[in-house]
């Protein structure tokens, strides 16, 4: 006997999950596994599984069967001598409890179903991500069919009541079992449970009520957005089958590397290389910031390698805030590697004047060793 599927596990929710929690879990998985986002065949198969799980748990009757330990979608293959051969769990449920199995009471299904979400990538420069930008993007999604306005019928025609189920969307059949006559209810295959048939399908959309189209959308990128963040455009995703309400469009931002600045949240880091002479004597530098303004840097005499100058409030604006981060300027002192004879002579004279002709090992009580020791106290 095959164990029933773990519908709750497929959605990653607890058995006491509310309908809203089920919906959120499904939408989260759908954004990762939808074929328009993830072309991996394994992901597409998993998308079918989680969709089935959501449909089952969204139906109160089907969920009740799952909670009782059954599988409302199993059809019980049966075996020789098995009195339940030909009957699914729903059939047995009906026989014992009467009336509704997993499908009973469902009634007609609407031809309109919600559309799926769509995901689009957007590459931004550091300046655009920092200060915001308005961009036009081209997106190809399912849109409402203009020929039939979503009803799926050819112009001048309309749906008709299903001749098989009489508009009920369901078919009831009576089967004989060892329990006696068992009535089962199934969705009508002629109309897919909608209770309507389309005698003249729309030639543009083939009765789907939607078509693929490329359209332009304006996206306002907020200042301070970071790499990997997503912008949600409600109602800009795919139109659903039958002209159903559209899903959402998500714009995922990727930030391009900058030639000077490295971003860390709302702070910016950059490196300034100083010749040894300028570090010793001091100098002034002009740094062009990300917003195009210029900042004068006062490099003091005796600047050491690794020192940092902090420019407060000159960094990236914080998302949804008027405050800005800082700019950290890291100073790198360059030691010359190739000297002319004259340059070498002058440096030797300087070393003699400063009594620096011989290097000394730093004592443990001071200098670097002392700082390291103090840091661990």
Q: For residue 161, how many other CB atoms are within 10 A of its CB?
A: 13
The mean pLDDT value for 135-149 works out to: 92
Across 320-334, b (16+ Cβ under 10 Å) vs e yields eeeebbebbbebebe
In a domain, 28, yes or no: yes
367 and 289 within one domain: yes
In a domain, 241, yes or no: yes
In a domain, 290, yes or no: yes
Q: For residue 335, how many other CB atoms are within 10 A of its CB?
A: 8
299 and 231 within one domain: no
What pLDDT, in 10s, does the model give residues 108-120? 788 888 999 999 9
The mean pLDDT value for 186-206 works out to: 90
Could you list the residue range(s) of the whole structural domain that residue 39 is in?
A: 1-74
The mean pLDDT value for 284-298 works out to: 94
244 and 266 within one domain: no
Number of domains composing the chain? 3
Task: For residue 236, name the pLDDT band (cuts at 50, 70, 90).
Answer: very high
118 and 224 within one domain: yes
In a domain, 50, yes or no: yes
Rounded to whole angstroms, the Cα distance separating 323 from 314 reads 10
In a domain, 146, yes or no: yes
Residue 225 has pLDDT above 90, yes or no: yes
134 and 208 within one domain: yes
CATH number of the structural domain spanning residue 321: 2.60.260.20
Residue 122 has pLDDT above 60, yes or no: yes
Question: 101 and 162 in contact (C-beta within 8 Å)?
Answer: no
25 and 2 within one domain: yes
In a domain, 84, yes or no: no
The predicted pLDDT at position 107 comes to 64
In a domain, 228, yes or no: yes
What pLDDT, in 10s, does the model give residues 23-59? 889 888 888 887 767 777 888 888 888 889 998 998 8
What pLDDT, in 10s, does the model give residues 58-76? 888 889 888 887 888 864 4
In a domain, 10, yes or no: yes
127 and 62 within one domain: no
Average per-residue pLDDT in the chain?
83
Rounded to whole angstroms, the Cα distance separating 213 from 187 reads 32
Residue 375 has pLDDT above 80, yes or no: no
């Amino acid at each position: 006997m095959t164990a029933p599927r773990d519908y709750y596990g497929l959605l990653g929710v607890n058995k006491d999950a509310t309908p809203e929690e089920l919906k959120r879990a499904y939408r989260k998985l759908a954004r990762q596994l939808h074929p328009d986002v993830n072309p991996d065949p394994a992901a597409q198969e998993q998308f079918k599984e989680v969709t089935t799980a959501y449909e089952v748990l969204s139906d109160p009757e089907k969920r009740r069967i799952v909670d009782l330990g059954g599988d409302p979608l199993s059809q019980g293959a049966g075996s020789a001598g098995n009195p339940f051969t030909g009957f699914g769990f729903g059939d047995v449920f009906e026989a014992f409890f009467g009336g509704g199995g997993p499908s009973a009471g469902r009634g007609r299904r609407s031809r309109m179903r919600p559309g799926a979400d769509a995901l689009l990538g957007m590459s931004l420069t550091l300046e655009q991500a920092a200060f915001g930008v308005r961009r036009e993007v081209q997106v190809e999604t399912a849109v409402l069919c203009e020929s039939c306005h979503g009803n799926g019928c050819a112009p001048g025609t309309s749906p008709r009541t299903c001749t098989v189920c009489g508009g009920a969307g369901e078919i009831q059949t009576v089967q004989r079992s060892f329990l006696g006559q068992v009535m089962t209810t199934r969705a009508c295959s002629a109309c897919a449970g909608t209770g309507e048939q389309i005698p003249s399908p729309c030639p543009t959309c083939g009765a789907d009520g939607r078509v693929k189209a490329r359209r332009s959308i304006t996206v306002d990128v907020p200042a301070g957005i970071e790499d990997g963040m997503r912008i949600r455009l409600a109602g800009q995703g795919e139109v659903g089958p039958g002209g159903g309400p559209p899903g959402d469009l998500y714009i995922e931002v990727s930030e391009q590397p900058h030639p000077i600045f490295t971003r860390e949240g709302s702070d910016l880091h950059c490196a300034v290389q100083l010749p040894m002479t300028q570090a010793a004597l001091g100098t002034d530098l002009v740094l062009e910031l990300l917003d195009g303004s210029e900042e004068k840097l006062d490099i003091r005499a005796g600047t050491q390698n690794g020192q940092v100058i902090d420019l407060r409030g000159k960094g990236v604006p914080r998302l949804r805030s008027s405050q800005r981060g800082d700019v950290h300027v890291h100073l790198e002192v360059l030691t010359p590697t190739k000297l002319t004879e004259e340059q070498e002579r002058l440096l030797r004279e300087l070393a003699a004047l400063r009594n620096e002709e011989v290097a000394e090992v730093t004592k443990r009580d001071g200098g670097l060793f002392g700082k390291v020791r103090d840091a661990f106290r």
